[in-house]
Amino acid sequence: MAIHKIKFFTGRASRYLAEKIVAAYGTTLGECEVVEFSDGEFQPHFIESIRGCTVFIIQSTFPKSDNLMELLMMIDAAKRASAYKVVAVIPYFGWARQDRKDRPRVPITSALVANMLTVAGADRVMTLDLHADQIQGFFDVPVDALYASGIFVPYIKKLGIEDLSIASPDMGGAKRASTYAKLLETPIIISHKERAKANVVGSMTAIGDVEGRNILIVDDMIDTAGTICMAANMLMERGAKSVRAAITHPLLSGKAYERINESALQEVIVTDTIPLNPEKDLHKFTVLSCADIIAECIERVHNYQSISPLFYKS
C-alpha cells in the first residue's frame, strides 16, 4: 500500500465533478481558494498543508483558457508547497484537436499544453478519451488515458437495442467505432465528410448498410454539432430506424443544443467531463458520470496497482 498521504483539490470549473470523484473514492476535497484581482488576474491558494502528500488536482481544460491557466498555477503552487507528487486529473484534455501541423505556420498546441503541464510540475496525468492516442507521446511523464467505452457500453447493452449498428461521424473516428462495434458485436458504418472550412461540413455520405438499422454514432467530442446532426439526418434519409449518439465530451458551442433538438437524433448520451448548460432544452440528453472510473483509476495508481482492468472488455 502507498505510504504517502493523499489529498484531492479541484479548480473552479470542475468542482461539480470533483465532488463526485472524491465521494466515489470515499473522502472529501481539500481546502483551496482562488483570489481574484480587479484586472482579471487570479491566484490559487492551498489553505491546508500538503507537504509530503500525493496531490490530485482535478480540472478539465474546456474553454475558456482560464481553466487551463488555473490548473497550471495549482500544479506550480503544489510543487512549491513541497507536495511529494502532483497528479493532474484532466477529464477533458482541451486543445487536443491541434495535435499535428496540418497546414503551414500553425502550432501543435496539444504538445505545447503537454509541455506546460510538465514544466509546471505535473508528475502524472490522468484523462478520459483523448482526441488522439498519440498525444500521450507529447508527455515525458506517465499518462493514464482511460476510455469512455467502460461507461457507454454497459449502458447501451442495458437498452437492448435490436438491429444495432455502430457509426463513426467521419473517417478519423473509424478506429473508435471499430472498437465499439467489436465490444457490442455489431456491424459498422463509416460516414465520410468533406469540410468547407473549420466547423463547417460541406457534404456527407455513408459507407455500410444503413437501411433497417438502429444506429449509434460514437465520437470523443461534440462541438458545434454540425457534423453529428448532418450524419444523423443523412442516416435517417437512407432508411435507418433510429439514430442515437454516444459522445464523451459535450463542448456544445454556438447553436449546438438547438441543432441537436431539431435533428433526427433520438438520444445523445454524454459523460459529465463538461457540464451541460442547464438553461438549454436537455430532453434528448442522457448524462453518465465518469466519476467512478476516475476514482478507481486514482486508487489503483496511488496503490501501485494495474489499471488494465478498467479497460472495458465484452
- Of 254, 174, 262, the closest CA to residue 220 belongs to 174
Q: What is the structure's pLDDT at 74?
A: 98
For residue range 162-209, list pLDDT tens digits in order.
999 999 988 778 889 999 999 999 999 988 766 555 555 556 778 888
Instruction: Round to whole Å and give the CA distance between 247 and 238.
Output: 22
- Of 301, 291, 292, the closest CA to residue 6 belongs to 301
Active-site position among 193, 197, 280, 284: 193
Mean pLDDT of 53-65: 96
Pick 197 or 9 by higher pLDDT. Answer: 9
90 in Cβ contact with 52 (< 8 Å) = no
| Residues 6+ positions from 198 with CB-CB distance below 8 Å | none
Mean pLDDT of 268-277: 98
Residue found by looking up cell 500553425 in the block:
106
Instruction: Count Cβ atoms below 10 Å from residue 198 Cβ, excluding itself.
Output: 7
Q: In this model, does residue 314 exceed pLDDT 50?
A: no
Q: In this model, does residue 16 exceed pLDDT 50?
A: yes
Question: Is residue 193 flagged as an active site residue?
Answer: yes
Q: Which run of H or E residues covers position 179?
A: helix 174-184
Model pTM score: 0.93
Terminal alpha carbon distance of the chain = 30
- Of 40, 22, 24, 229, the closest CA to residue 32 belongs to 22
Q: In this model, does residue 303 exceed pLDDT 70?
A: yes
Q: What is the structure's pLDDT at 224?
A: 94
| Residues 6+ positions from 27 with CB-CB distance below 8 Å | 6, 8
HSE of 217 in the Cβ direction (CA atoms, 13 Å)? 33
Residue found by looking up cell 482579471 in the block:
40
Mean pLDDT of 202-217: 86
For residue range 232-249, list pLDDT tens digits in order.
999 999 999 999 999 999
212: confidence class by pLDDT, cuts 50, 70, 90: very high
Whether residue 20 is preceded by a cis peptide bond, meaning omega within 30 degrees of 0, is no
